[in-house]
């Protein structure tokens, strides 16, 4: 005979567990999956990472489905140039993107002969490899790999197609309370350079800061259903890797 009180207790336990999970996801830490190659080689398709929601304070986008419970961001902390950030795209305020923060409010960003300039100063990049291949969607492209050094002293790895498809741009002047983002895979990233699809990102659209990878698998080798290939598809060397 089914005990009615036992069923009620189990429902309560499940309800409380869901509430706790929702609070943790909204206020502290949230997992994300990388579906595209726009941040290679920093982030690979199949990486799963944790993003801290408290890093930049909270807005309505900190919560699932972005309910209109906060009119503006609270407990705001300024993001730092070079941070890898998850944000909601301004076009629909719904889609999650992850890119590297390059331009702060008031900055002037420009590409000249495929070189990045911030406030009229060229960002120095040192080539560390000229024979790499990187994913761009479903194809691979030949790239040069660079270490790029930002004005605030932070450095990171970027790749540029050997064809340097994005060579020159107008000057992007970052508005007040907005930020300018780029993908590390510079010739294969839809980011703030494309004003009609991403453009400048308002501080209220920031979701959180990417901190570290907790799991990674190569979907080109195996999937959830091809369990006999799991040992080959799992990238053990990326577990607990800090995102720089």
Catalytic residues: 38, 99
Q: Please, what is the Cα angle at 40 between 226 and 131, to 5 degrees? A: 105
Rounded-to-integer distance, Cα 97 and Cα 86, Å: 6
The tokens describing 62, both together, are 């900190």
- Residue 165: alpha-carbon gap to chain centroid: 22
* Strand ranges for the chain from DSSP E: 29-33, 47-52, 84-88, 96-103, 108-112, 115-118, 121-122, 125-136, 139-149, 155-161, 172-173, 178-182, 201-202, 206-216, 241-242
Residue 93 half-sphere exposure toward CB, CA atoms < 13 A: 13
Cβ contacts of 180 within 8 Å, gap of 6 or more? 101, 102, 103, 104, 107, 109, 172, 174, 192, 200, 201
Whether 181 contacts 214, CB under 8 Å: no
């Amino acid at each position: 005979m089914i005990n009615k009180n036992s069923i009620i207790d189990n429902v309560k336990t499940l309800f409380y567990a869901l509430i706790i999970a929702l609070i943790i996801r909204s206020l502290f830490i949230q997992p994300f999956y990388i579906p595209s190659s726009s941040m290679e080689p920093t982030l690979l398709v199949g990486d799963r990472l944790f993003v801290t929601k408290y890093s930049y304070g909270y807005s309505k986008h900190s919560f699932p489905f972005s309910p209109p419970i906060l009119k503006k961001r609270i407990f705001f902390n300024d993001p730092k140039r070079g941070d890898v950030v998850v944000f909601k795209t301004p076009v629909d305020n719904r889609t999650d993107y992850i890119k590297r923060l390059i331009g702060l409010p008031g900055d002037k960003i420009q590409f000249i002969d495929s070189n990045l300039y911030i406030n009229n100063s060229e960002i120095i990049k040192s080539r560390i490899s000229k024979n790499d291949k990187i994913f761009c969607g479903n194809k691979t492209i030949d790239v040069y790999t660079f270490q790029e050094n930002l004005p605030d002293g932070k450095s990171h790895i970027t790749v540029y197609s050997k064809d340097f498809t994005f060579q020159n741009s107008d000057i992007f002047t970052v508005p007040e309370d907005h930020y300018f983002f780029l993908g590390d895979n510079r010739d294969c990233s839809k980011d703030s350079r494309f004003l009609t699809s991403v453009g400048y990102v308002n501080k209220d659209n920031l979701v959180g800061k990417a901190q570290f990878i907790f799991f990674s698998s190569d979907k080109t080798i195996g999937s959830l259903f091809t369990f006999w290939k799991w040992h080959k598809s799992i990238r053990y060397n990326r577990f607990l890797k800090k995102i720089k």
